[in-house]
Amino acid sequence: MREAIAAHAEFCHPEEACGLLAADTEGRLRMAYSLTNVLASPTNYTLDPKEHLAVTRHADRNGWEVAGVFHSHPASGAYPSATDIRLAADPTWFYLIYGMTDRDRPVLRCFRITGSAVDEEPLEP
């Protein structure tokens, strides 16, 4: 999944890449779905609603659930922005951010966001 997220972020650069994450019934991430950023913006993203629906259907067919979202920060670090925090609607979701401040050494980090509280979750190597 790391490689898929990295490839999507590089493909979309200098715009933000975005996608959804699916997890199994144990809460383990199983799939990263690369979606279209309909805003085509370097500082914001909105998932394509038709693609979002297709992801939900695919995850359901596999016994998974949509359990989070990922996006890139093409010109900043891997930490939720004020906008990311404000728009984080589900405290049970994983929020993965691919920071590209140094494109030779990008960073992927995972967070849970509840209200204004941001807690980092470890990612397995």
Q: What is the pLDDT of residue 124?
A: 81
Architecture of domain 2-103: 3-Layer(aba) Sandwich (3.40)
Name the pTM for this structure.
Answer: 0.95
The answer to whether residue 125 scores a pLDDT higher than 90 is no
The dihedral through the CA atoms of 35, 38, 44, 45 has a sign that is negative
Per-residue pLDDT reduced to its tens digit, 50-72: 999 999 999 999 999 999 999 99
Q: Judge contact between 122 and 97, C-beta under 8 A.
A: no
